[in-house]
Amino acid sequence: METQQVGYQGNGLTTTVSELARTPFLTTLDRLRADPELTSFWQRIWVAPATAAEFAEYAGQLRAFADRSGGLLGRSPDFLAGIVTAWAANAGHFGEGADRVREFHRDCAAANSVLTHAISDISERGRIAEDRVLRVVRRDSEGVYLTGFKQLATLAPYADVLLIYPYRPLTPADADAALCFAVAPDSAGVTVHQRAGFRRAGEDPDESIDALDEQDAIIEFRDAFIPYSRVFIDGSVEACNRLRERTGMTGPAWVQALARMAAKARMYHTLAERVLESGQTSAKEPEVILAKLARFASSCERDLERAIESAAFDPRYGFWSAQRTILLQGIGNFTERIEGATTLLAQIAGLDLICPKPGRTERRGLLAAAPQLADWTLFTNLAAGAYGFRQTKYELAFVGDPDRLAAH
């Protein structure tokens, strides 16, 4: 998740709440929030595991939820829930903001809130665009006023709350940008600039791959007011720079990521099987392709199991967590192979991706999160569509080079 070079465009990318009312993804999110089988999941993700049994249940709930989307939903909603729960367990790091963090965590858990974060600065030609860095422009007795931009806001158009904090290390000169706070995306002075979806003209929105598109966005602040009750760090460069180290927030986030990756690798193999069962293929050795995808899935399963088995109580943070090195090794193994797995999917259909054979499968129900999607819709979008391309690029950018990360 390194800072990316993204040119800001204000022409037509702003989305209002009313425009989101009937989007395919909102239907998916509503389905997930209302699913009675996920009641334990929603409860578990807001509780820091205090015992080995609780950690095993936590990891199991993360994996079960990931299975419902085939690992295609990275932020909905357990990734940030784990982060906020770690913050609350280590609220002392936030100094005078400690009680605010604890109260925020309680409110989110009670409401089953869906959160995302926006943590990176916009860059131009590899350099931070200083004129667009989010900064405090004034204060009063009630709160702070902010102007600037943040990005990497996956899920922002659908989130209940945005979390804003720095990703890059700050210097003493960045005191007015040393912020950690929460804000609703529809607050005054806050604008969500999202990219277009993937649905083609004339395509039934109910059967569109947009049902699995969490979206990503740039968040613009223009003299936006944030009350002190939702400001957790204000002006402390050290507190921002040591946020991960002092709260243990990456532990639950990376367990969620590895569970999702294992689910995704398994889904790739299952989807390939279903497509091959539906008719002829242009691939010369489909059984070899399936064997490679099966090995990829099994390898990711073992990585997740190994991470869960490595878990121990971490007295620094007061909860159980998997060993950091093992988590990063598993994430690294997945990211090194996901491009190859996507290529294997494309080889199955060959020219069918351009001109599908009549009668190609319309079987549905592989993903519980979006059961209306046909196998072929999911397959073609992952194997040769913009949705699959962005999914793969996201996986490669998620932690950057895991070996470099593990060395620090």
Residue-wise pLDDT tens digits, 329-371: 999 999 999 999 999 999 887 767 766 666 666 789 999 999 9
Distance, first Cα to last Cα, the chain: 16
Asked whether 373 and 367 are in contact (CB, 8 A), the reply is yes
Instruction: Give percent of the chain above pLDDT 70.
Output: 91
The whole-number pLDDT of residue 133 equals: 96
The whole-number pLDDT of residue 279 equals: 74
Kind plus residue range of the DSSP H or E element containing 307: helix 286-309
Beta bridge partners of 182: 163
Question: How many Cβ atoms sit within 10 Å of the Cβ of residue 365?
Answer: 11
Tokens (6 digits) for 112: 């089953």
pLDDT tens across 91-131, in order?
A: 999 999 999 999 999 999 999 999 999 999 998 877 888 99
pLDDT tens across 19-53, in order?
A: 445 689 999 999 999 999 999 999 999 999 999 99
Cα–Cα distance between 329 and 73 in angstroms, integer?
21
Cα–Cα distance between 226 and 142 in angstroms, integer?
8
Tokens (6 digits) for 280: 């002829």
The whole-number pLDDT of residue 201 equals: 65
Asked whether 39 and 33 are in contact (CB, 8 A), the reply is no
Cα–Cα distance between 169 and 384 in angstroms, integer?
37
Beta strand ranges found along 209-297 (DSSP E): 217-227, 231-234
Residue bearing the bigger pLDDT, 171 or 397: 171
In what order do the strands lie in the sheet containing 179-183?
115-118, 161-164, 179-183, 231-234
